[in-house]
Structure 1
Amino acid sequence: MGADTGSGLLADIELEAILQFGSREMTLREVLQHACGDVVELDRHESQPVDLVVGNRIVARGQVVVSNGNFALRVTEVAAPQLRLESVACRS
């Protein structure tokens, strides 16, 4: 079985894709103290690209845009094909 055939078998599998803007560690006490309208600062500067994460791996990076009234990602960088394939590999 060639590499193309193996990749083809995976093409129709649905995966959860997450846009990761940044992160921040907080205690449960800090989380519970938040109210509507509070702002939580992240560890990423606004000019840095956001990450498209699939299977706990970054597969692409880009800019957040609005498309037809919805948030979207304009991809500016894509991970190498082998890294993207590894991110969807089955784990035992």
Structure 2
Amino acid sequence: MENVAGADEPAITAAAIGLLSDVELDATLRFGSREMALREVLELGPGAVVELDRHVTEPVDLVVGDRIVARGEVVVVNGNFALRITEVATPQLRLESIRCLF
């Protein structure tokens, strides 16, 4: 396997990945974002609407750590929100998401 780490770092091997395969990581769906003044946040209440910077037709990001690892569309499965993945980040970018564990 090609070394995806820096020149001074050890290569990531299949065995190393195997050791980490059961590690649980927090995954977050990011629909969009918006900067708000503290005053605006304090004025929020039930029924308030916060408009995000993403159009409803744009894909939602699946974020692990601080990296986008996949994108897709929101669906409902058994009454729960879910993500139908339409695009996956390159293997190197996904590995960079967990590089801090090596």
TM-score by length of 1: 0.94
* Greater Cα offset, 79-88 or 2-11: 2-11
Give matches, 1:1-92, under 5 Å.
3-90=13-100
Q: CA deviation at 1:2?
A: 6.4
Question: 2 CA distance for matches of 1:55 and 1:35?
Answer: 30
Stretches of structure 1 that go unaligned for 5 or more consecutive residues are none
Question: 1 CA distance for matches of 2:22 and 2:55?
Answer: 35
Question: 2 CA distance for matches of 1:55 and 1:40?
Answer: 24
Stretches of structure 2 that go unaligned for 5 or more consecutive residues are 1-10
**Structure of greater relative contact order (alpha carbons < 8 Å, 6+ residues apart):** 1
TM-score by length of 2: 0.85
SS state at 1:89 partner: helix
Runs of 4+ in 1 over 4 A off after TM superposition: none
Identity across matched positions, percent: 68
> How well do the aligned residues superpose, as a CA RMSD in angstroms?
1.4
Question: 2 CA distance for matches of 1:60 and 1:90?
Answer: 19
* Larger Cα-atom Rg: 2
Counterpart amino acid of 1:90? C
SS state at 1:46 partner: coil
Q: How many residues align?
A: 91
